[in-house]
Amino acid sequence: MDNQELQELTEKISRVQFGLPFLHKARFNPRLRTTGGRYLLNSHDIEINKRYLEQLGHDELVGIIKHELCHYHLHLLGKGYKHRDADFRALLKKVGAPRFCGQLPENEVKKKSKKTVVYECTSCGIVFKRRRNINTARYVCGKCRGELRKVKEIKAQ
């Protein structure tokens, strides 16, 4: 699918689902990383992440387009177009648009497992919990300036 086909699909969804014309541009933006699409307030254009079409299919793309068209039409009508607005949520429900897009399979692989590293002061015995490892040769206890030692590392599932 190219930008022209995306434009035609967006115009069709707008006419059929919303009963209103889509008069601006819809295009793929290869720079989008963490979102399925976005509505641009100044130009009224819609940008879509093509990886959602490639990895999750046509149905996910249609859902993203519906979501962005909700922003588009409400903004042009002067109603609440933001995620937290009641107008926006009601229109999402009416047209069957998702509130959030699905997770890309490529991003699920990149997720890091969270861990907690526990350090203890050798002088006063105070316990410190950190997400990252710290250099115990460089850092000391904030309470008594004692030496720190790594006690354990807890990995979350």
The predicted-structure confidence for 34-87, as pLDDT tens digits, reads as follows 899 999 999 999 999 999 999 999 999 999 999 999 999 999 999 999 999 999
Name the residue ranges covered by the structural domains of the chain.
Answer: 3-109, 115-155
Active-site option among 68, 106, 147, 153: 68
Is 68 a catalytic site residue? yes
Question: Average pLDDT for residues 95-105, to the nearest whole number?
Answer: 87
- Residues 6+ away with beta carbon under 8 Å from 52: 36, 37, 60, 61, 64, 101, 102, 104
Please tell me the predicted confidence (pLDDT) of residue 109. 59
pLDDT on residue 110: 57
Q: Across the chain, what does the average pLDDT equal?
A: 91
Higher pLDDT, 157 or 42: 42
pLDDT higher than 60, residue 111: no
Distances (CA, A) of 15 to 32, 74, 98, 102, 154: 26, 15, 19, 25, 54
Q: pLDDT tens-digit profile of 12-28?
A: 999 999 999 999 999 99
**Residue 4 parent element (H or E):** helix 3-13
Q: Residue 157: pLDDT band by 50, 70, 90 thresholds?
A: low
Classify 3-109 by CATH class.
Answer: alpha beta
For residue 72, what are the contacts with CB-CB under 8 A and spacing of at least 6? 14, 22, 24, 39, 44, 46, 81
3-13 vs 58-77: helix crossing angle, rounded to 10:
60
Q: Where are the alpha helices (DSSP H) in 31-104?
A: 50-56, 58-77, 86-95
pLDDT: is 113 or 24 the higher one? 24
CA–CA distance from 117 to each of 106, 150, 153, 154, 156 (Å)? 28, 7, 4, 6, 11
Order of strands, edge to edge, in the sheet holding 115-121?
Answer: 127-130, 115-121, 148-155
Amino acid in the structure at residue 142: G
What is the distance in angstroms between the CA of the first residue and the CA of the last residue of the chain? 39
Residue 62: what pLDDT? 95
